[in-house]
């Protein structure tokens, strides 16, 4: 097959589909190429899909708050017909455990006050009224199960922050397919079960791609939104030479544990960024609790080849479940803890790269680091505007696009997401789903 496009998106995860949707709304002829058989079936499918508004950086929090109304009004964002069944967003609120190591959440409070993110300060007693099964103990630092001091308290937490504007999507792949359908309605074409094997260029300008099915698609614009494979696509395009921030694939696991008996965590639970135990947790369908990791120092970091890694959960899911049991003493840990293993596309500072590249017409929406699911609607709009900005002859490296965030009076300087930035030391260097 030979076909001409205005833009080709490599990757049909939630970010790639959102970009295809926004470019198509701007009347670009868009082709989206996804190596799996369904959109959203790569690392997106195993995202914890947590939607939150708090972030360790002002720009990150502003983008998250900007996205929130799209999840609250999902059908309007998609312009979906009334009879289309859509993914459902469930708002439950999010705790943030505060202790000396994270300066008792002071930075989060300052950011929340600056841009109007609602929050409240809860004493441990007030937190227990909201979530009676919780133990407000202070356990930091996270320890290995072999540590003789595992599970010992260092007193109680002083307080926690509660962010009511937080929740989750229980089916992230279905949400991605909702965006795929929206993109198709405005003209985007999707090529599933198809892998890009070559990126064509002429005089440092991309001209198209070849696929493993023998297709040749021409386009003057190519967007790398390939998730954990992003560094391989960048190398294929020879676009890494001026990048000071790189990405690589990190293998991670999430434990799925049943709620304590006589408590419905699915209906009455909360999300929590719980660095005090070295992880995060949220309610899940089936009255379960999902427990992810903040990659504490006592755990091994596992960088992998995204085409060759162990996709089965290991004993690490049990470790994470046991850490959650510190917070929920009535949690009964099964002999065989269930869980999933998948990949994060992690940048050097865990902040994404939304940028052009040194190759004309080649763009990047990468380094999503497991935390950008929530930002997909605005990421799509932002990338579409960046592409138009550069296509009009603007030098984004020297004069970065200032993007007016929707739903918020905030101008976002896109140099924050530059491939050429210095490592942002204000980043949390971790993820909350």
Please report which confidence band the pLDDT of residue 369 belongs to, taking 50, 70 and 90 as the band edges: confident
Does the pLDDT of residue 120 top 90, yes or no? Answer: yes
What value does the mean pLDDT take over residues 196-207?
98
pLDDT of the residue at 40? 98
pLDDT of the residue at 81? 98
Report the percentage of the chain scoring pLDDT > 70. 100
Please report which confidence band the pLDDT of residue 433 belongs to, taking 50, 70 and 90 as the band edges: low
- Model confidence pLDDT, tens digit, residues 307-366: 999 999 999 999 999 999 999 999 999 999 999 999 999 999 999 999 999 999 999 999
pLDDT of the residue at 370? 83
CATH 3.30.9.10 domain locations along the chain: 89-169+252-343
The two structure tokens encoding residue 246: 């790189």
CATH 3.50.50.60 domain locations along the chain: 2-51+62-84+171-246+349-417
pLDDT of the residue at 429? 78
Does the pTM surpass 0.75? The reply is yes
pLDDT of the residue at 326? 98
Please report which confidence band the pLDDT of residue 4 belongs to, taking 50, 70 and 90 as the band edges: very high
Query: How far, in Å, CA of 385 to CA of 122, rounded?
Result: 40
Q: Taking the CB of residue 184, how many other CB atoms lie within 10 A of it?
A: 16
- Model confidence pLDDT, tens digit, residues 178-198: 999 999 999 999 999 999 999
What value does the mean pLDDT take over residues 198-213?
98
Q: What is the CATH number of domain 89-169+252-343?
A: 3.30.9.10
- Model confidence pLDDT, tens digit, residues 121-155: 999 999 999 999 999 999 999 999 999 999 999 99
What value does the mean pLDDT take over residues 289-303?
96
pLDDT of the residue at 431? 76
On average, the pLDDT of the chain sits at: 97
- Model confidence pLDDT, tens digit, residues 407-430: 999 999 999 999 999 999 988 878
Q: What is the CATH number of domain 2-51+62-84+171-246+349-417?
A: 3.50.50.60
- 325 with 331: CB under 8 angstroms? yes
pLDDT of the residue at 89? 98
pLDDT of the residue at 250? 97
First to last CA, the chain: 39
């Amino acid at each position: 097959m030979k076909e001409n496009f205005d833009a080709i998106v490599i990757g049909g995860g939630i970010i790639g589909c959102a970009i295809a949707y926004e470019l198509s709304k701007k009347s670009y002829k868009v082709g989206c190429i996804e190596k799996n058989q369904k959109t959203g079936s790569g690392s997106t499918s195993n995202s914890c899909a947590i939607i939150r508004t708090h972030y360790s950086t002002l720009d990150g929090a502003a983008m998250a708050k900007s996205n929130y109304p799209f999840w609250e009004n999902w059908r309007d964002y998609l312009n979906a017909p009334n009879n289309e069944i859509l993914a459902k967003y469930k708002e439950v609120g999010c705790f943030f455990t505060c202790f000396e190591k994270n300066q008792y959440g002071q930075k989060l409070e300052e950011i929340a006050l600056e841009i109007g993110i609602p929050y409240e300060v809860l004493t441990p007693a007030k937190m227990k009224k909201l979530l009676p099964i919780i133990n407000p103990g202070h356990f930091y630092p996270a320890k290995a199960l072999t540590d003789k001091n595992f599970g010992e308290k260092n007193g109680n937490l002083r307080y926690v922050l509660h962010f009511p504007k937080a929740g989750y999507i229980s089916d992230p792949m279905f949400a991605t397919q909702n965006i795929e359908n929206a993109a198709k309605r405005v003209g985007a074409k999707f090529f599933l079960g198809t892998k890009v094997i070559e990126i064509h260029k002429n005089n440092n300008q991309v001209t198209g791609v070849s696929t493993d099915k023998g297709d040749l698609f021409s386009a003057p614009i190519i967007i790398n939104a390939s998730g954990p494979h992003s560094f391989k696509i960048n190398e294929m395009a020879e676009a890494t030479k001026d990048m000071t921030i790189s990405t690589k694939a990190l293998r991670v696991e999430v434990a799925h544990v049943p709620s304590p008996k006589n408590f419905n965590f699915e209906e009455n639970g909360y999300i929590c960024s719980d660095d005090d135990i070295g992880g995060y947790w949220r309610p899940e369908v089936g009255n379960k609790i999902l427990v992810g990791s903040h990659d504490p120092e006592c755990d091994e970091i596992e960088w992998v080849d995204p085409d060759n890694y162990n996709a089965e959960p290991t004993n690490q899911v049990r470790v994470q479940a046991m850490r959650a049991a510190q917070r929920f003493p009535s949690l009964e840990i099964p002999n065989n803890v269930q869980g999933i293993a998948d990949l994060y596309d992690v940048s050097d500072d865990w902040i994404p790269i939304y940028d052009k590249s040194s190759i004309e017409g080649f763009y990047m929406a990468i380094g999503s680091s497991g935390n950008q699911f929530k930002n997909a609607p605005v990421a799509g709009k932002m990338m579409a505007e960046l592409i138009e900005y550069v296509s009009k002859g603007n030098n984004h490296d020297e004069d970065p696009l200032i993007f007016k965030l929707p739903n918020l009076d905030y101008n976002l300087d896109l140099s924050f997401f530059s491939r050429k930035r210095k490592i942002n030391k204000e980043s949390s260097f971790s993820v909350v789903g």
